[in-house]
Amino acid sequence: MEKTDAVQEGKVRIFKALAHTTRLLLVEKLFTSEMCVSELMEGLQSDISTVSKHLSILKNAGLVRDEKRGSMVYYKLVMPCVLEMLGCVEAELHERGVRRIDSKEI
């Protein structure tokens, strides 16, 4: 079965959105429950504008959805299957004993 160009581009957009440490952490945090930006910032070494930019990228890729409630904006992971894929990758890396991937190899 052939994939349409739109489907292929959608996949690329999702993988590009996941290709950043902070965005991976945000996706993992949102797996447990929806959160507002201030909650998502906890434990991250980023300011609110940087976290908001990362959330915007995840939203544009279709990974998260936002909902404004009063003055707060809450984010929810709408593609939880991505965690299964990330778990598979992590398990494989542990199996191989990979602790760090050199970006020059990619």
The answer to whether residue 87 is domain-embedded is no
What angle, 0 to 180 degrees and rounded to 10, lies between the N-to-C axes of helices 48-60 and 5-18? Answer: 160
pLDDT in tens, 11-42: 999 999 999 999 999 999 999 899 999 999 99
The answer to whether residue 65 is domain-embedded is yes
The answer to whether residue 9 is domain-embedded is yes
- pLDDT score of 98 more than 80: no
The answer to whether residue 86 is domain-embedded is no
The answer to whether residue 93 is domain-embedded is no
Structure tokens at 25: 């952490």
Mean pLDDT over residues 73-96, rounded? 91
Name the average pLDDT for the chain.
89
SS3 of 2-51: the string is CCCHHHHHHHHHHHHHHCCHHHHHHHHHHHHCCEEHHHHHCCCCCCHHHH
pLDDT at position 99: 59
Task: Give the pTM.
Answer: 0.83
Angle, alpha carbons 11-9-3 (nearest 5°): 80
The CATH number that applies at residue 72 is: 1.10.10.10
Number of domains in the chain: 1
The answer to whether residue 99 is domain-embedded is no
